[in-house]
Amino acid sequence: MRYAFIKDHAGDFTIRSLCRLFNLHPSDYYAWLRAPKPARQHKDDTLLGMIKQAWLESGCVHGYRKIHQDLHDLGGRCGINRVHNLMRNDGIKAQVGYRKPRERSGEVHVVTPNTLAREFNPSKPNHSWVTDITYIRTHEGWLYLGVVIDLYSRKIIGWSMDSRMVKELVLDAQLMAAWRRKPESRVIVHSDQGSQYTSYKWQEFPEVHGLARSISRRGNCHDNAVAESFFQLLKRERIKKRVYLTREMAKRDIFNYVEMFYNPVRRHTANNLLSPQEFERRYKNEAEKCLLNLSRFIAHTRALSRVIRDSKAPLDYATAIALRSA
């Protein structure tokens, strides 16, 4: 510790004066300086370089848990506590942000009920979506952003930006979501009680596209917590680090965050530390495997039924199992 202190402050004081402070001879310090690093130190230095690279690629956002998962995906073998200690000692930490809003109960909407009822973890994509609006400060004035999020994977499936907070803002975002996903069954679309979401055009839109509306209780942001959480992430991880001179500059940066980082790269604890795109891709692969197994089972069952129907004598149990597994 004494030698390390001398090394850290060698630029501010002379080596001889620092050694005199600790009652050391300068030759002892230089001998320590020339001594080879232990193998553990070399491994820590290599691992710290990989940690810094993964942290920078996340936009200086990820904490030690997600960094550990990044290293694991790259083939690195290290414990999560070792990653935590190295990041803490080097001053690398996750992006932390805004205070949580107060909870207010509020009243339900007089026309549309709160159908979602805070069921934020559906079992499949295109079961329930949430939508909301936020604003971004620029030197030209406010830029308003409307998004639509699939609750299954937390993926942004629709977005729109405008200089005014009008009903077309939410309609364009919803139209993008409907065009991208093309849901085959009725989807719950949840929003707050903003004037854009209670307009006549918004009320007509879900009926035309086969969607079911759901609206939060008045003044209760927790009923739409997933959308609020995304806006908090966007402002914490990207917007508060930037100064936007124009709305066009803000649009380009937000597009980069959503389409180039959030959807394909950013890990989510709700997705078992997978990105939204990867989480949906794995669901699709599992669904295709189940469908393939089901079709094989149906084909074997039909073949077995034909064999039993065409045979003159009934099959014993062992023969039936053998035919089914063939």
Do 172 and 230 reside in the same domain of the chain? yes
The pLDDT score that the predictor gives to residue 63 is: 87
Residue 326 has pLDDT above 80, yes or no: no
Look at residue 316 and tell me if it is in a domain: no
> Could you say which of 266, 283, 315 is where a domain stops?
266
Look at residue 294 and tell me if it is in a domain: no
Number of domains, the chain: 2
Report the alpha-carbon angle 116-128-168, nearest 5. 100
Output the CA torsion sign for 126, 169, 256, 266. Answer: negative
Residue 157 near residue 148, CB atoms below 8 Å:
yes
Domain with residue 210: its CATH number is 3.30.420.10
Stated length of the chain: 326
209 is written with which tokens?
A: 């596209």
**Residue 182 is part of which domain span?**
128-266
Which tens digits make up the pLDDT trace of 252-281?
A: 999 999 999 999 999 988 888 899 999 999
Which tens digits make up the pLDDT trace of 183-224?
A: 888 999 998 888 888 888 888 888 888 888 888 887 777 888
Output the CA torsion sign for 174, 202, 223, 253. Answer: positive
5: nearest Cα among 31, 27, 33: 33
Q: From CA 136, how far away is CA 309, in angstroms rounded?
A: 71
With 0.85 as the threshold, say if the pTM is over it.
no
Do 138 and 84 reside in the same domain of the chain? no
Do 159 and 56 reside in the same domain of the chain? no
Instruction: Supply the mean pLDDT for the chain.
Output: 83
Q: What ranges make up the beta strands (E) of 139-237? A: 141-150, 155-162, 187-191, 211-215
Do 242 and 138 reside in the same domain of the chain? yes
Which tens digits make up the pLDDT trace of 52-68?
A: 888 888 878 888 888 88
